[in-house]
Amino acid sequence: MIDAALALRINEQIDHTQLTFTEYDGANLDVASKLSRFGFNLLVTPAIASRFKDLLLLLDSYGPDNILLMDPKPTDLSWYNKNKMGTAEKNAIIKTAKQMQKRMTAKIVVDSCFSFELDNTKGCMAARRICYVNYPYVYPCSFLVCEAMRMGGSARRQVH
């Protein structure tokens, strides 16, 4: 949905855009080539883990500022139970990411949910440094998608 004109507006008005890449589609790869300052969110599932090195190199080839490793969240329990990864699998991903970082331009970072089991890091960035946009609405994060958290659209609310 991002054409050349919209990409120009984004590049002029938005400091940085994170594009999500999952095992289901790579549509955001085309968008990345139109943006000047962006990063990728990489949702690490068993399908992604099986080709992790190749995907890191592919995403890095588009010139992102960062690649954010994200952990599956339990918004759909059936999907989550099939795609969650254990501590040993996450540690293997982090070890591989550290090795791959030496060959890459993009900085590899992890979201706070991914790191909970690894080093007891805590602290959610929802609505402080990130937001989730599902046009025409904006939410504090992709896991707080409910009417009470919704901003934007035709029904505007004032927040105090």
pLDDT at 122 over 80: no
Could you tell me if 22 and 67 lie in one domain? yes
Query: At 118, is the pLDDT very low, low, confident or very high (cuts 50, 70, 90)?
Result: low
Please provide the size of the chain in residues: 160
Task: Say if residue 159 is in the same domain as residue 108.
Answer: no
pLDDT score recorded for residue 160:
44
pLDDT at 104 over 50: yes
Nearest to 55 by CA among 96, 115, 16: 96
Strand partners, 139: 132
In this structure, the answer to whether residues 29 and 90 fall within a common structural domain is yes
Sign of CA dihedral 31, 33, 52, 96: negative
pLDDT higher than threshold 50 for residue 121? no
Element (H, E) at 119: helix 112-119
20 & 42 share domain: yes
Distance, in Å, from the CA atom of 143 to the CA atom of 160, rounded to the nearest integer, reads 22
How far does CA 16 lie from the centroid of its chain? 13
Residue 56 CB-density burial (10 A; 0-12 exposed, 13-18 middle, 19+ buried): buried
The answer to whether residue 50 scores a pLDDT higher than 70 is: yes
The per-residue pLDDT for 76 is 75
Mean pLDDT of 17-42: 80
Instruction: Work out the percent of the chain whose per-residue pLDDT is above 90.
Output: 29
pLDDT at 60 over 50: yes
Name the domain count of the chain.
2
Name the residue range of residue 23's domain. 4-123
Q: How confident is the model at residue 32 (pLDDT cuts 50, 70, 90)?
A: confident
Q: Is 159 a residue whose pLDDT tops 70?
A: no
Confidence of residue 42 (pLDDT cuts 50, 70, 90): very high
Same domain, 96 and 142: no
In DSSP terms, 151 is beta-bridged to 138
Q: Kindly state the helix (H) or strand (E) to which residue 68 belongs, with its residue range.
A: strand 66-70
pLDDT at 91: 87
**Residues 80, 134 within the same domain:** no
